[in-house]
Amino acid sequence: MKILAINGSPKKNGKISIIVKEIIKGSLEKNNECEILYLSDIKDISDCKGCMKCQKEEKCIIRDDIQIVEEAIRRNEVIIFATPTHWGNVSGIMLRTIERLFGFLIEEKPLGFPVAKAGKGKKAVLVTACSTSWPFNWIFNQSRACFGRLKEVCKYSGIKIIDDFTLTGTSKMDKIPQKYLIKAFMLGKKIK
Ligand SMILES: Cc1cc2nc3c(=O)[nH]c(=O)nc-3n(C[C@H](O)[C@H](O)[C@H](O)COP(=O)(O)O)c2cc1C
């Protein structure tokens, strides 16, 4: 399988980055082809202007570095959406990216019904980390709301979610305990 991890953490050595690397390590053991795209490395993804021209023109008319993300999605079969939970949502850079992918991923029909485009038939794994501990991350809608955003994207884009991973209580962790690294590695091995 061809697997793409879109890393939406602003930190290259943060918790999300460590978990994503473990998932990828596991996937590589199964001879998958894997790549990690660090959104924080991409220089120029501007904000969505809300013009809706992407609905007429197939994709966003602003041709900046969003093309890097579009091309990576096109050439892979499984997309790992990885983002820290920020204010009960995806990170700012992840939000900006998924907004800019609107016309690439869906076409809204006249009554507003979305039709899946470039993501159709692909699979997804959702990954987040949050400082709130279990079960409060769920009860208080922290990581749950973050996944809610990503589920919305996947649902209308025709992308099937095959697994997810949440690292909770990160403010108490200097290092990620081994059991979570093993869990991430095993998840990676299972992707197919
Ligand atoms: C701007 C900002 C907002 C955050 N909002 C939340 C939140 O709403 N809920 C939560 O549990 N943790 C929140 N956190 C904590 C992060 O989710 C947590 O530190 C996570 O482990 C960061 O992952 P990283 O190391 O990959 O950046 C927030 C952190 C930042 C910087």
Domain that holds residue 143: 2-190
The number of folded domains in the chain is: 1
* Whole-number pLDDT of residue 58: 86
* Ligand 1 center from residue 161 Cα (angstroms): 23
For residue 90, pLDDT over 90 is answered with yes
* Ligand 1 nearest atom to the CA of residue 10, by list position: 27
For 8-26, the pLDDT digits (tens) are 999 999 999 999 999 999 9
Q: Which residue's structure tokens are 């809608």?
A: 141
Tokens 């999300």 belong to 16
CA 63 to ligand 1 centroid distance, Å: 30
Question: What residues are paired with 124 via a beta bridge?
Answer: 79, 161
Model pLDDT for residues 31-53, shown as the tens digit of each residue: 999 999 999 999 999 999 999 99
The rounded distance, in Å, linking the Cα atoms of 155 and 126 is: 13
Residue 111 predicted with pLDDT over 90: no
Query: Which residues, judged by CB distance below 6 Å to any ligand atom, belong to the binding site of ligand 1?
Result: 9, 11, 14-17, 84-88, 129-132, 137, 142, 170
Q: Minimum mean pLDDT among 53-57, 70-74, 86-90, 117-121: which range?
A: 53-57
Note whether 113 and 99 are within 8 A (CB): no
Determine the average pLDDT of the residues in 84-105. 98
Cβ atoms of residues 6 and 45 within 8 Å = no
What pTM value is reported for the model?
Answer: 0.97
Contact 23, 127 (CB under 8 A): yes
The SS3 of residue 38 is: strand
CA 99 and chain centroid, separation: 12
Q: How large is the average pLDDT for residues 54-69? A: 95
- How far is ligand 1, taken at its centre, from the CA of residue 116, in Å? 31
Residue to mutate (ligand 1; options 38, 87, 166, 180; most atoms within 8 A of CB): 87
Instruction: Kindly state the average pLDDT of the residues 86-102.
Output: 98
Using most ligand atoms within 8 A of CB, pick from 130, 134, 142 the residue to mutate for ligand 1. Answer: 130
Give, using CA atoms, the residue closest to atom 4 of ligand 1. 86
The pLDDT score that the predictor gives to residue 112 is: 82
Residue whose Cα lies nearest atom 31 of ligand 1: it is 86
Q: Given a cut of 90, is residue 27 above it in pLDDT?
A: yes
pLDDT band at 110 (very low <50, low <70, confident <90, very high): confident
Mean pLDDT of the chain: 97
pLDDT at 10: 97
pLDDT at 40: 97
Specify the CATH number for the domain of residue 141: 3.40.50.360
